[in-house]
Structure 1
Amino acid sequence: MKIEEYLETLPENLLSGEDVQLPEKSFREIFKFVDLGENDIFYHLGCGDEKGIEIAINEFKVKKAVGIDNNSEKIQKAKENLNAKNLQGQFICSDVEDSDISEASIILFWFTDEEVINNMMMKFEHLKPETKIITIWGPLPDCLPDKVSFPYIINQTPFKKAENMQEQLLSIFGVKCIDFVTAWEFAERYTKSIGTPEIQNDRFLTIIQTLMIWINAKKLGVACGEEIPESIQTYIKLMKMNFDIDFGHLLNE
């Protein structure tokens, strides 16, 4: 089956990120990267549980922390868990697109739905200057990142616009072109950053991410060289033979 067909076999909530919770180590890495501190008002959009808010309050001593999610059961549970620990955070049950985020100084925003992202961009554009928005894996659309520690990316208002996708892609990876080694390194960083210690299929996920990074780079004309690297060819064959997942057609589009 084509890789797109394989992704469609996965649970919808997994693809949307609805049931994907960042491990605590990832929150700490993100908060250190963005220099979260006592003068900040932190918003976690699509918070799910209370962990990010708890760590922001308890360990990084933020002035205020707000979690927003449209799942009422998760919000209620998050409130109960935080109250049980005597921590003063705020949770709001709402679609992020309808929420007032104007007071935020730092926002964690990890969404894959293009419609949500595009709608939020209009809200982000009106935030006060120097508001930091942290994304995971990709920057905000058409924007050059202000700071990168892949897979964590910061865009700060007012946004810097990229001239094209090539400029944006290379600004993330910090290289002049993308080869197999670069694609593998960054795919592995992503898998390790969002994965839990007990994850069993991290190499499988890394291979998929590596192939997608390199193939996208090839399409955008920023892959190193004209030929398909032997390592890329080998992994494409392995995915086809062992898992019946086909990437080959993407190279011909």
Structure 2
Amino acid sequence: MRIDEYLDTLPENLLNGEDVQLPEKSLRSIFKFVKLTKDDIFYHLGCSDEKGIEIAVKEFQVEKAVGIDNNCEKIENAKKNLEEKQTKAELRCQDILDSDISDATVILFWFTDENITNQMLKKFEELKSDTRIITIWGPLPDCIPDKVDFPYIVNKVPFTKAKNMQEQLLAVFGVKCVDFVTAWEFAERYTKAIGSPEIKNDRFLTIIQTLVIWINAKKLGVACGEEIPESIQTYIKLMKMNFDIDFEPMLKE
């Protein structure tokens, strides 16, 4: 099975960041990282449920919290949960592309669909200065992050544009090129950060993420060296032999 075929067997929301239930520990880490305070107006785009909004209001005492999601059933359930907990916040069933976010000071945005991200980037650029946009895994397109605690990344308005991929890579990973060790370290950080406490296959996910990071770096011309490292070759063979997941097509694209 090609890796793209394997990924097609996974729920779409796992791949694009939509409708993903971030663990509460991750939400707290994100809010501490971005230094969320009582003076902030917080927006959670693609919130799915009320957890992020509830933590922002109750524990970080933000001035205002707004959750936006296009799944109306989940928004209605989230509203009921907040009412039961007597938590005041605004929840909207709405497409984020159509949403008014002009008063935001902090936005949590976890979408990897290129079309959505590019359209939202234009909206973000119109926000007031010093508005912080939190992304997970990757920065906003062609932008240099203001803060990084991988996989959490903050870009601040007005955005600083990267001169090239290497400059953005250095800002995110702290290296000029990606080798196996870097790919593994950051894949592991990602798996631990967003995984639930009950996760049983974290090493399997880390291996997949490591291979995806390195192969993408290779395709973008920011991998270290021209040759495929022996460790990468070993894991590619392991995934093929033990799980029938083939990464070779990615290397040939």
Could you state the TM-score of these two structures normalised by the residue count of structure 2? 0.96
Question: Any idea what SS the aligned residue of 1:141 has?
Answer: coil
Question: Any idea what SS the aligned residue of 2:168 has?
Answer: helix
Match of 1:232 in 2: 232
List aligned pairs for 1:92-111, cutoff 5 A: 92-111=92-111
Match of 1:5 in 2: 5
Q: Greater shift after overlay, 31-40 or 14-23?
A: 14-23
Match of 1:127 in 2: 127
Q: Map Cα deviations across residues 124-149 of structure 1 (whole Å, 9 max, x no partner).
A: 11000010000000111111111100
Question: Any idea what SS the aligned residue of 1:135 has?
Answer: strand
> Once superposed, what is the RMSD of the aligned Cα atoms?
1.2
Point out where structure 1 has 5 or more consecutive residues left out of the alignment: none
Q: Which amino acid aligns with 1:51?
A: K
Aligned-partner Cα distance in 2 for 1:62–1:3: 42
Q: Map Cα deviations across residues 80-121 of structure 1 (whole Å, 9 max, x no partner).
A: 111111111110110000000000000000012222111111
User: Is 1:81–2:103 an aligned residue pair?
Assistant: no
Match of 2:154 in 1: 154
Aligned-partner Cα distance in 1 for 2:206–2:198: 15
Aligned pair count reads: 253
Aligned-partner Cα distance in 2 for 1:221–1:17: 26
Q: Which amino acid aligns with 1:83?
A: E
Deviation of the 1:17 alpha carbon: 3.5
Match of 2:29 in 1: 29
Q: Map Cα deviations across residues 134-177 of structure 1 (whole Å, 9 max, x no partner).
A: 00001111111111000000010000111122221222101122
Aligned-partner Cα distance in 2 for 1:7–1:28: 29
- Please say if residues 166 and 220 of structure 1, whose CA atoms lie closer than 8 Å, have aligned partners that are also in contact: no
Deviation of the 1:16 alpha carbon: 3.8
Q: Which amino acid aligns with 1:211?
A: L
Q: Which amino acid aligns with 1:127?
A: L
Q: Greater shift after overlay, 180-189 or 223-232?
A: 223-232
List aligned pairs for 1:206-221, cutoff 5 A: 206-221=206-221
Point out where structure 2 has 5 or more consecutive residues left out of the alignment: none
Match of 1:175 in 2: 175
Q: Map Cα deviations across residues 8-57 of structure 1 (whole Å, 9 max, x no partner).
A: 12233433434421000000000000000011000000000000001001
Q: Which amino acid aligns with 1:11?
A: P
Match of 1:115 in 2: 115
Aligned-partner Cα distance in 2 for 1:160–1:52: 28
Identity of aligned residues (%): 75
- Please say if residues 127 and 157 of structure 1, whose CA atoms lie closer than 8 Å, have aligned partners that are also in contact: yes
